[in-house]
Amino acid sequence: MRIAVAGGTGLTGRHVVEIARRRGHDAVPLSRYGGVDLVSGAGLPQALVGADTVIDVSNIGSIKTDVAVSFFAGATRNLLATERKVGVTHHIALSIVGVDAAPEGYYAGKLSQERIIEAGDIPWTIQRATQFHEFAALMFDTAKAGPMHLAPRARTQPIAVREVAEHLVTLAEDGPGGRVRELAGPREESLADMVRSYARAIGHRGWIPEVSLPGALGRAQRNGSLLPQNDPILGRQTFAEWLAALPDG
């Protein structure tokens, strides 16, 4: 099967491309680096020729509502319109558990992506997953007050990105499934503890205060709305195992 992977050079996308190829598929990564811009549409028709399935794991690193909505809505509309023209028969998108509990900022973008796919006419699958283990590193790098790192208070059930990528390729092989069972890691963790453990693992010795993030997202993080709800599929690798496997230094 020919699988176009939107965002195929990113954290998730690299695993999806490698796993799909290992399973004998023809996997084509789409990224600006490779000459395809999902938002302007440049290079997209050529890149999708012959594709049976699109797995969308593209991303934008902004928490601003207008930026996130413009990216996810724009990229999804361009993908679906081009898929219709070239005959793609299955669109798969990776979304996040609990996005509707806090439809603001980045999550507003993900929700707009889901709604456009559901309303479209390309047969689809939406896979929601919880935070990846790497989310601890992202929070360590970005949640800061001046030079001080912060540990956001949140309940999460983090999963290995590799396991998410394995599922996405299986979904491509299975065909359109609509909303499929959520994916989550094997156990609930405290995000603040994850950030502090990550910091220690990379040699950071400073104090990292725990903070409550404001707004609907902060509330959803604390009250468990971002935990999986109905009979999720559970991954195997724990956060502690992920941490132990980090390269030294």
Ligand X SMILES: NC(=O)c1ccc[n+]([C@@H]2O[C@H](COP(=O)([O-])OP(=O)(O)OC[C@H]3O[C@@H](n4cnc5c(N)ncnc54)[C@H](OP(=O)(O)O)[C@@H]3O)[C@@H](O)[C@H]2O)c1
- DSSP structure string for 34-60: TT--TTT-TTHHHHHTT-SEEEE----
Q: Which is nearer to ligand X, 99 or 208 (CB)?
A: 99
Please report how close the Cβ of residue 177 comes to ligand X at its closest, in angstroms. 17
Q: Are strands 151-152 and 210-211 parallel, antiparallel or unpaired?
A: parallel
How near is the Cβ of 224 to ligand X at its closest, in Å?
17
Kindly list the residues in this chain that would bind ligand X in the complex (CB under 6 A): 7-13, 30-33, 36-39, 57-60, 94, 96, 110, 129, 131-132, 135
Minimal CB distance residue for ligand X: 10
Nearer to ligand X, 130 or 199 (CB): 130
Q: Which amino acid, one-letter code, is at 155? A: R
Between residues 82 and 146, which has the closer beta carbon with respect to ligand X?
82
Q: Which contiguous run of DSSP H or E holds residue 22?
A: helix 11-22
Least Å distance, CB 70 to ligand X, is 11
Q: Name every residue whose Cβ is closer than 8 Å to that of residue 31 and which is 6 or more positions away in sequence.
A: 7, 8, 9, 10, 13, 58
d(CA 58, CA 80): 14
Q: Which is nearer to ligand X, 14 or 90 (CB)?
A: 14
Q: What does DSSP assign to residue 182?
A: P
Q: Least separation, in Å, of the C-beta of 25 and ligand X?
A: 18
Of 12 and 157, which CB lies nearer to ligand X in the complex structure?
12
Contact 169, 1 (CB under 8 A): no
Least distance from ligand X to the Cβ atom of residue 205, Å: 26
Sign of CA dihedral 117, 7, 202, 146: negative
Rounded CA gap, 98 and 128, in Å?
Answer: 8
